[in-house]
A and B are shown apart, each in its own frame.
Chain A
């Protein structure tokens, strides 16, 4: 038997395992990791000295805008941004137009993403038809089509009866509901965090209680139904405490936080720059500290971007009518790494292993770096600093809040299904 030489070998990489970091070579062929060890050689050699090599990142929360808002982002441009951010899988949020509430739209997203082939795009689907909060989507048919996460993200499911039924029904299937916690009645017209800053600027506030009330309600519905639930983009100190207690009670809940809620505060809205308008809003330093504590003690399971592109004309409007949302895919590693004081192992847990498990795609993402595994890999520096420039980002939109800021941590190579899709910080297509 002749052993063919591997297509690609990363040499001397700091390989991130749950048990720690081991310097090794990693060889890849035909989409599979074929060697982890020392002295490996192959057709193409990449020196990864000083770089971390981990399973590719998984974003639980990406808005790709296609179908419906292709002027802001497409599956292609969003996939490129994802790959550049080290992501090998992203969960596409369902608030497209038409929304991802039926198999046809889900199939469209899947097929488009396959054509692009820069990362896996895993569509989520709505909980209710049209995200109107009234009628449940066909959960079983969508599950059959590959959907594992259901959410009305952008809207919270307001009606407690609908949420209760959705949770009960979801138990029959291997799926998870993800809630955008926001009591809409308490956030009408809201522009930013309700606090001193919003009072001075004279804009309606988005109070922390609007998030915490729904979170509390849904934790109790999880207790009642036993169905698992994932909480999207938690932003307040009170939310962290609620999830901490729910987990202590043994409830099957998981939670994510965005990089921007770990790094940016409401004071940035002082210049009425709509790029900083996001939902839930940027909050206070006290909230940031509580979120970091939640990340440190495991209350928070995942970092998710809530990558939300908006075309310039949509944002060049008064702040009260500007749509909320900011880019996040290409800066997530750097911002999280800069904001958090955690080990590289914990970082990978937050960016890859945990989100892969929550998304139900742990059969192919967030896998160990070991022989026989699918080669979905990110290779990145945790020490490289770089200046974010909105014009240098791959997203079709430019609404990054980090323009002009320096962050630490950058992805250098991304391997998706064995293909080197990002080479030396550049996407191959």
Chain B
């Protein structure tokens, strides 16, 4: 594996191997000195054309704990937002002999395009509405470890709720979770479910109340206020009434069911309930797990042992 561009490119075996390696990485993170020399001498550049705090810090922390050198390129809002010098930027950074680009961009497809302009590995840290594969791996890690079934989600049903149309998290999670055997239900107003999503391996519903008492995971998506302006929903109030996670809905969830959210939450709109009051909430665990999962991705793409080390977890 040279790049990680889309969760759709991962096989079930790839996913299981990455999650197992993340277990080893999680163990490293519990040590007094949570650092190993696995990627010493490697250079990882975060190239963030779109604002992000948690994903960038999560990747940089992951790289540092593997002893990689890190650089950060944060594009300001000027000319790069028009994409004018994207290619020049990547070629310039490549000339500094970097080993991996961690790329976030508001336009779908940019990480894939960048692979044409560099020999380095490219990791998609979120592109437009398209993909955010390390988020989905993190979520799969969180769910499988919560349920104690590290290699499968057979028999589990996961509801992904809200603005699926504009969500790279949803697209990535559908790919990863279904490959682990889960049943995925998309729940949202028809305006926010992608056209022809019926062709995806998912079920589609338009009422959260219909599923909230039956699913193993309620995965809430962020609902952005500006969606109202383009008539996706009549009002945020109506959206919240139909699709917000309220205390009442939480009270009807199965006892073992989990609540997840990729963040940032839009309190009072997508999340009405205070997650701190929800025993099944894994929202902060998702953030914590992001680091070992990203360590596993970086080591898989850049580590010298490659698949052998991946299988045994040795040499860490």
User: Which residues of A does B touch, CB under 8 Å?
Assistant: 191, 194-196, 198-203, 205, 207, 271-272, 274, 313, 316-322
Partner among B83, B84, B128, B196 whose Cβ is within 8 Å of the Cβ of A203: B128
Given A195-B195, A202-B129, residue A320 in contact with residue B171 (CB < 8 A): no
Question: How far in angstroms is the closest Cβ of chain A from B228?
Answer: 16
Of B109-117, B205-213, B219-227, the one touching chain A: B109-117
Given A201-B130, A203-B130, residue A318 in contact with residue B107 (CB < 8 A): yes
* A316–B90 alpha-carbon span in the complex (Å): 12
Question: How far in angstroms is the closest Cβ of chain A from B281?
Answer: 27
Question: How far in angstroms is the closest Cβ of chain A from B43?
Answer: 24
Which residues of A are found within 8 Å of B195, using beta-carbon distances?
A: 194-196, 198-199, 205, 207
Question: How far in angstroms is the closest Cβ of chain A from B190?
Answer: 13
Partner among B83, B129, B168 whose Cβ is within 8 Å of the Cβ of A321: B83
Q: Most chain-B CB neighbours within 10 Å: which of A195, A317, A318, A321? A: A318
Question: How far in angstroms is the closest Cβ of chain A from B184?
Answer: 14
Chosen A-B contacts, 14 in total, with CB atoms closer than 8 Å, are A195-B196, A200-B8, A202-B131, A202-B168, A207-B195, A274-B113, A313-B84, A313-B87, A316-B86, A317-B82, A318-B107, A320-B107, A320-B108, A322-B83
Interchain CB contact under 8 A, A272 and B197: no
Interchain CB contact under 8 A, A199 and B109: no
Interchain CB contact under 8 A, B110 and A318: yes
Question: How far in angstroms is the closest Cβ of chain A from B204?
Answer: 12
Contacts A199-B196, A317-B83 known; list 11 others, CB within 8 Å: A196-B199, A199-B195, A201-B130, A202-B129, A202-B171, A271-B112, A272-B110, A313-B84, A316-B86, A317-B84, A321-B83
Question: How far in angstroms is the closest Cβ of chain B from A266?
Answer: 11
Which residues of A are found within 8 Å of B127, using beta-carbon distances?
A: 202
Cβ of B237 within 8 Å of any chain A Cβ, yes or no, is: no
Interchain CB contact under 8 A, B196 and A202: no
Interchain CB contact under 8 A, A272 and B129: no
Which residues of A are found within 8 Å of B109, using beta-carbon distances?
A: 201, 203, 272, 318-319
Which residues of A are found within 8 Å of B128, using beta-carbon distances?
A: 202-203, 320
* A55–B87 alpha-carbon span in the complex (Å): 44
Question: How far in angstroms is the closest Cβ of chain B from A332?
Answer: 28
4 nearest A-B residue pairs (beta carbon):
A272-B109, A318-B107, A202-B129, A199-B194
Which residues of A are found within 8 Å of B107, using beta-carbon distances?
A: 318-321
Interchain CB contact under 8 A, B129 and A318: no
**Interface residues of chain A: helix, strand, loop or mixed (majority):** loop
* A203–B195 alpha-carbon span in the complex (Å): 11
Which residues of A are found within 8 Å of B194, using beta-carbon distances?
A: 199-200
Which residues of A are found within 8 Å of B261, using beta-carbon distances?
A: none
Question: How far in angstroms is the closest Cβ of chain A from B118?
Answer: 13
Given A199-B194, A203-B108, residue A318 in contact with residue B168 (CB < 8 A): no
Question: How far in angstroms is the closest Cβ of chain B from A271?
Answer: 6
Which residues of B are found within 8 Å of A195, using beta-carbon distances?
A: 195-196
Question: How far in angstroms is the closest Cβ of chain A from B111?
Answer: 9
Partner among A196, A271, A320 whose Cβ is within 8 Å of the Cβ of B196: A196
Cβ of B105 within 8 Å of any chain A Cβ, yes or no, is: yes
Question: How far in angstroms is the closest Cβ of chain A from B45?
Answer: 19
Given A317-B83, A318-B107, residue A272 in contact with residue B168 (CB < 8 A): no
Partner among A191, A202, A203, A316 whose Cβ is within 8 Å of the Cβ of B87: A316
Which residues of B are found within 8 Å of A318, using beta-carbon distances?
A: 83, 86, 105, 107-110, 113
Interface residues of B in 161-220 (CB under 8 A from A): 168, 171, 194-197, 199-200
Which chain A residue lies CB-closest to B86? Answer: A317
Question: How far in angstroms is the closest Cβ of chain A from B153?
Answer: 21
Q: Most chain-B CB neighbours within 10 Å: which of A191, A313, A316, A322? A: A316
* A12–B196 alpha-carbon span in the complex (Å): 55
Which residues of B are found within 8 Å of A207, using beta-carbon distances?
A: 195
Partner among A194, A203, A316 whose Cβ is within 8 Å of the Cβ of B129: A203
Question: How far in angstroms is the closest Cβ of chain B from A100?
Answer: 27
Question: How far in angstroms is the closest Cβ of chain B from A43?
Answer: 52
* A313–B108 alpha-carbon span in the complex (Å): 18
- Report B94-112 CB contacts with A as 1/0, cut-off 8 Å: 0000000000010111101
Which chain A residue lies CB-closest to B82? Answer: A321
